[in-house]
Amino acid sequence: MDFTAIEKEFIRQKVLPDFDWTRFDQPTHPVPLKKPVQQCRVALVTTSGAYLREKQQPFTTKSPTGDDSFRIIPNETPIEAIALAHPGYNTRRALQDLDCVFPLSLLNRLQRHEEIGATAPRHFSFMGFIPQTERLLADIAPQVGVELQRDQVDLALLVPS
């Protein structure tokens, strides 16, 4: 069963009649790490829809065109302060083990065990349903890239949800 074809047809019928997946004919060029992982500062970039329950607006889950904004999650955030807003999966179940969609606890554990050099001071969360990707690709993602550079991140772990 081809789930991408089913999802594409669903989006065309319910949201955008001319929807098609954003394609890249050439993969991005690999960028080798300049130092061992055990010396790298690591950040999370997730599409889980994670946000700070008391301090940030949830992602818009009812819009037929999605929500291409992002939320910054400070590394020291307690897990219980994180909520999830996403139309594509059961967020209540994911909150029972947040690491399955936003592995912040795991990343901090890797730092404590010296498997990575350091966790970044901030992590970045998107809501994964974004059928119109133009603004995301042209403006939003490069903005997050600048913020990752500001935080001197060596390695960003992309966590799809």
pTM over 0.85: yes
What confidence score (pLDDT) does residue 128 get? Answer: 86
DSSP output for 78-104: -GGGEEE--SSS-HHHHHTTGGGTS-H
What confidence score (pLDDT) does residue 37 get? Answer: 97
CB neighbour list of residue 157: distance below 8 Å, 6 or more residues apart? 42, 43, 44, 45, 103, 107
User: What single-letter amino acid sits at 41?
Assistant: R
Domain layout of the chain by residue ranges: 35-159
Span 120-139, pLDDT tens digits: 999 999 998 888 889 999 99
DSSP 3-state percent helix, strand, coil across the chain (nearest 5): 30, 20, 50
Helix (H, G, I), strand (E, B) or coil at 30: coil
Span 68-126, pLDDT tens digits: 999 999 999 999 999 999 988 899 999 999 999 999 999 999 999 999 999 999 999 99
Residue 13 pLDDT greater than 80, yes or no: no
